[in-house]
């Protein structure tokens, strides 16, 4: 599933969610709907704990997904300069 993304964590999370509603994912993972929406839009990055919960729920490899999140963090820092 990770191979089907555009390089962003937001896309990985949208693809992983599939047809499930954000509300059902939020309820099942304990991640707020607002945070999930922000992560899927690319305006928020998850904490390590939140990312671990989402990876476990979606069946994603945590290490690979964490690398994508780290890349997004670095990209944001370089764009802010």
Residues 6+ apart with CB under 8 A from 7: 68, 71
- Tell me what the mean pLDDT of segment 20-32 comes to: 97
Q: Residue 30 pLDDT more than 80?
A: yes
Give the helix/strand (H/E) hosting 38.
Answer: helix 33-41
Q: Give the number of domains in the chain.
A: 1
- Tell me what the mean pLDDT of segment 1-26 comes to: 84
d(CA 37, CA 43): 9
| pLDDT of the residue at 14 | 95
pLDDT digits (tens, 9 = 90+) for 47-62: 999 999 999 999 999 9
Can you give the CATH number for the domain in which 16 is found?
A: 1.10.260.40
| pLDDT of the residue at 6 | 64
Domain that holds residue 33: 2-80
d(CA 81, CA 76): 9
């Amino acid at each position: 599933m990770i191979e089907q993304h555009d390089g962003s964590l937001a896309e990985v999370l949208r693809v992983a969610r599939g047809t499930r509603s954000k509300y059902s994912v939020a309820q099942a993972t304990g991640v707020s709907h607002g945070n999930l929406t922000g992560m899927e839009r690319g305006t928020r990055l998850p904490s390590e704990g939140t990312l671990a919960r989402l990876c476990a729920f979606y069946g994603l490899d945590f290490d690979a997904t964490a690398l994508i999140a780290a890349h997004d963090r670095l990209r944001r820092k370089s764009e802010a300069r």
